[in-house]
Amino acid sequence: MNSTVRMEGCRPFQGGPSFFSQPLPAIPLPGFPLLTKAIPAGFPSPADDYAEERIDLNNHLIEHKEATFFVKVEGSSMTGFGIHDGDLLVVDRSVQPEDRSVVVAVVDGEFTIKQLCRIPDGILLRAGSQAHSDILINGDQTLAVWGVVRWSIHKVDSCLALSR
């Protein structure tokens, strides 16, 4: 199964007149706590005084606000690129795709997520799994690059033990 895109729509407004008469909730500080010192993934470092700052993920993940969309991945064809079923992708429609960019493409009217490769024969949309086929764009197909994938966000569950 190829990785496809499900566009998440806006939820309809559920409030009525009583919604506006209720007091407004407290406004939280924007962003999430961020430790000022990076935490090593290898050898542990001695504990320092870690002062907290706040990080706004919008500022970190989104370069072009008006052209950025979040899409959910469905399928497993891009696992070799670290994109998994259920991931949330940050896609920027204003970025020009380069050779080997991971893109959201529309091939013959169907959305797909693949690596865009320019080859002598034309454009190859490369899957990130050997279990899935690449797509060679030929004269009989239409291709539109909908946007460039900038980030993939996924939950880290349990990891498989590495064999050494």
Residues acting as catalytic residues:
77, 114
- Using DSSP's 3-state secondary structure scheme, residue 43 falls into coil
Residues 6+ apart with CB under 8 A from 8: 70, 71, 72
Tokens, residue 134 = 């690449």
Partner residues linked to 105 by β-bridges: 112, 145
Burial class (CB in 10 A: 0-12, 13-18, 19+), 24: exposed
Angstrom distance (rounded) from CA 36 to CA 7? 35
Tokens matching residue 155 = 């939950």
CB neighbour list of residue 80: distance below 8 Å, 6 or more residues apart: 127, 128, 129
The C-alpha atoms of residue 125 and residue 114 are separated, in whole angstroms, by 5
